[in-house]
Structure 1
């Protein structure tokens, strides 16, 4: 909660101003029953209608001022809570954007979505309510008690006796409810994950007639969420009836004792009317404080979840670079030597190993290098680690041992933005956004149209773009209004438009027919001959032209060489070739 409070600090002067207005309105509100008591006991017996009207007008003025003060203070409270949580939400989004892939995996996307939406909304509501009722309700309660003590100390003693018991009850219930609200938010994460998966895979669900299965799956997580929220809410809601019981018992005692004191002449009828009014005010203020504590319990749980993200340390450390190649622990002793005058490889993996779960390696002892303008094809069965290799090169994850170098420089010494600007990437399951086709290619980079036109031509997308309305063609969410081949060509154009130093194509031509694929590869080699290219594919025809081909299986390299060399030396590659192309003759 301390971290969240820092976003409120810039607005403290405004909050003090709002509190002052709210305090003024609350004091005026407390005066109204007292004026009513004075009219009944002192003014009415004089039989002076003019005096009654004057005091009545004073009550009306007080009521009008209370209205103005409350509206004004509530508007100030809304502005403060809006601006504070807007700044928090902005920084939270910024922080999430720069979390490493391993950190995102740890939090999970549904949980991060919940923290960005539900948790920040809980904080917004609570901050707003604290400013609106956090001043008014305690002042009404304490002020009401003080005024009633002046009216009649004996009746006020009933209130003073009940208040400690009410505070103790609310404190104990709140202590139990805060952890329950945290569990409810975790259950909300699970429900959002299922809803997100269903929305993403709706076509598959319908095609396989799995609607009932997914409904049951959703019902399970929804029931868990309902149970968690019900348990938290029921626990916290117990404070309301308990406080009502105490106050109503006190109210009955006040009526009995007050009637007896009026009958004995110890107090006047107007005093008991005012006392009952103050008692009602105190009752409402205590209920408001109870609701505020309920909301605060949710907010404390939400603040903890938000702070967990905001306080997550940066795990992609940028190591210092001395301006010359350095050998990292575990790297090969044959690191490039600039003193020899030999130009280092454009990109090099040096005995690289990596594991997602830190128990079993997903890539093990991987070593290869590429010179400027060379191409590398990567092939292997599903789960072999092909896409993982690309993610390590982009430093979406940090390797466990070894070293990855670009131009002899360890990638861990590059600022992340500088490193990733070197790459044009088409991921295996890449995304198109709901925007125009041009904006999906440009992606906010403000590229010149010549570069975009050139990329579109090389990606073999020019003809279908021209025939479908040009660059202003609207793209639906995730590109559902495009075919698989059209989508892949747009994604390839996006990767090429920035004139990247490295191009990574992760199974990006699987939806292209052989003719289009061949035309794309031919155009790529002609127009981007200076770009170092990594092609991850399932088809040998997509990579057989590459300068080097890497064969992976279970994260272990099985062979590295040209197409012809691997046919002779690598059994795994020869088997794939035989299955797909008829063997060595092709």
Structure 2
């Protein structure tokens, strides 16, 4: 509820105008039965046709005002719901965009997708219905009771006597309904996750003929969702029939009491006709109120889910050098200790006793990672799958914070650097990188502002010019989602072009040449050495050929460094590295060949 009030506050003026118009239009509706009763009981006995036409004309005018007012107010209500939901959706997307990776992992991408789609739709419906029916129905209910009280207080008491029952039933059912609709949205999250996995893994599913298995998996989560919807819907569906029962019971009592009162000349036929009309109005208003409770219950459940994301603040904000030093559990940078890497201010990049454990994981992913690079040097990282190679890149980009130790750039702990300033230093190709459904030029620019010469230079350096010149439109060639109209090697070269554009201060290449042939890979290595002399390069690879030129090579296993040095040093002194080299090249290494 707090979320709705926050986002509706800027629209209070429009809502006040719409409410006023809706109020006046509804009052016109309430006047009609009263005028009809007056015509039957007071005007017709006069036998004056002109007066009948006069009051009939007043009824027509009231009807026109009622219809016009409701139409205008409904249009204003729809515009408020549209604009408020647009703002909520924008703020929610913006919040998600700045959440840290651990926060996104905690909530889950499918859940974030459903909150941006189905939950915001539920909130939109709630805002609109509360202005349209939520204002009109109570006015009709209260106004109808008030007018009937002036017509015949006794009959009104009969009607009002059933109101406590309707209020009690509505309250009990609504309290049960809100948690149930929350469960429905959770099941929608699961459904979205299964659909996303099925679409993303379509090629694997077809290749392994697992279509039936995936259909069964979808059927299960779909059935769970349907069962939750049935449970929530059944609970809330009890309200309308119970309201019908109570109000029709009241109508029956009103008719019986009216018959006795007319026979006793205690009331007039016109009053009874008006009273029955008002009772119908009140009945409709009560049914609409129960309908509002259903929509409001669903909307509040969705608003609560959205609010849980909106209240999140980015976890990985810059901190003070003192805080960074305290979290690193290391002495100050200027101190000297035999058990720590000596940090020189001329070092461009330093990993110092870095440990890291992923959230909700007890086992360390990285342990005691130490290395330092001068500007323009290259470090190659190799090791088996799951050894923590890509995690080093994620920590350097500060997608996660180290558990202990520190990462320094130009002598500054990266936790003290503004995110925008930090990320501008990097050109990155991640292991599971993404191309968007835009042109090749847009994918390389990626919201940055490079000149055409810069784009062409990065394309040439990434060895992508050859194939880009052959596609229709060249740089304007539009890619499909995830670059599905390119081969694996072409995708990697476009991604390399994006990373290399603008000669970044750091270049992180995580398994970025796995789909390249050896000749193209060799040309790329030559370009990195000759044309990016001032760029510090972090290259993560499975092939030794991609990193053997590096100034430093780290061999990882289970998150620890089991070998460090240049290619020749590791061949000479590290058995594991030598075995990997021999297996990949087919060349037997001897002391004479080193």
- TM-score tier after normalising by the smaller chain length: over 0.9
Cα deviation digits, residues 98-130 of structure 1 (max 9, x gap): 100000000010001111111111111111111
Inter-CA distance 18–487: structure 2 relative to 1 (3 Å threshold): same
1:533 aligns with 2:537: yes
Structure-2 separation of matches of 1:342 and 1:521: 28
Could you tell me whether the CA contact under 8 Å between 2:344 and 2:411 is conserved in 1? no
Inter-CA distance 20–209: structure 2 relative to 1 (3 Å threshold): same
The alpha carbon displacement at 1:58 in A equals 0.8
Structure-2 separation of matches of 1:343 and 1:148: 87
Structure-1 separation of matches of 2:253 and 2:417: 76
Cα deviation digits, residues 7-26 of structure 1 (max 9, x gap): 11111111111111111111
Structure-2 separation of matches of 1:224 and 1:571: 54
The total of aligned residue pairs comes to 582
Structure-2 separation of matches of 1:303 and 1:327: 39
Inter-CA distance 333–49: structure 2 relative to 1 (3 Å threshold): closer
Inter-CA distance 146–457: structure 2 relative to 1 (3 Å threshold): same
Cα deviation digits, residues 530-562 of structure 1 (max 9, x gap): 111111111111111111111111111111111
1:148 corresponding residue in structure 2: 148
Structure-2 separation of matches of 1:15 and 1:481: 49
Structure-2 separation of matches of 1:160 and 1:307: 39
Q: How does 1:35-434 map to 2 (within 5 A)?
A: 35-321=35-321, 329-331=328-330, 343-356=345-358, 357-434=360-437
1:573 corresponding residue in structure 2: 577
Structure-1 separation of matches of 2:389 and 2:254: 79
Inter-CA distance 341–321: structure 2 relative to 1 (3 Å threshold): closer
Runs of 5+ consecutive residues of structure 1 not aligned to the other structure: none
Inter-CA distance 51–486: structure 2 relative to 1 (3 Å threshold): same
- Give the TM-score normalised by structure 2: 0.95
Inter-CA distance 416–341: structure 2 relative to 1 (3 Å threshold): closer
Structure-1 separation of matches of 2:246 and 2:53: 38
Q: 2:161 is paired with a residue of what secondary structure? A: helix
Could you tell me whether the CA contact under 8 Å between 2:343 and 2:350 is conserved in 1? no
Runs of 5+ consecutive residues of structure 2 not aligned to the other structure: 337-341
Instruction: Decide which moves more: 570-579 or 225-234.
Output: 570-579
Structure-2 separation of matches of 1:22 and 1:320: 55
Cα deviation digits, residues 336-395 of structure 1 (max 9, x gap): 89xx99543110100001111251111111111111101111111111111111000000
Q: 2:162 is paired with a residue of what secondary structure? A: helix
The alpha carbon displacement at 1:90 in A equals 1.1
Structure-2 separation of matches of 1:156 and 1:333: 82
After the TM superposition, list the runs of 4 or more consecutive aligned residues in structure 1 that deviate by more than 3 angstroms. Answer: 325-329, 332-337, 340-343
Structure-2 separation of matches of 1:143 and 1:105: 52
Structure-2 separation of matches of 1:570 and 1:319: 40
Inter-CA distance 515–313: structure 2 relative to 1 (3 Å threshold): same
2:554 corresponding residue in structure 1: 550
Structure-1 separation of matches of 2:364 and 2:335: 27
Inter-CA distance 341–215: structure 2 relative to 1 (3 Å threshold): closer
The alpha carbon displacement at 1:141 in A equals 0.3
Structure-2 separation of matches of 1:175 and 1:430: 46
Could you tell me whether the CA contact under 8 Å between 1:559 and 1:566 is conserved in 2? yes
Could you tell me whether the CA contact under 8 Å between 2:317 and 2:418 is conserved in 1? no
The alpha carbon displacement at 1:525 in A equals 1.3
Instruction: Decide which moves more: 51-60 or 479-488.
Output: 51-60
Structure-2 separation of matches of 1:472 and 1:329: 47
The alpha carbon displacement at 1:512 in A equals 0.6
Q: 1:510 is paired with a residue of what secondary structure? A: coil
1:454 aligns with 2:457: yes
1:519 aligns with 2:523: yes
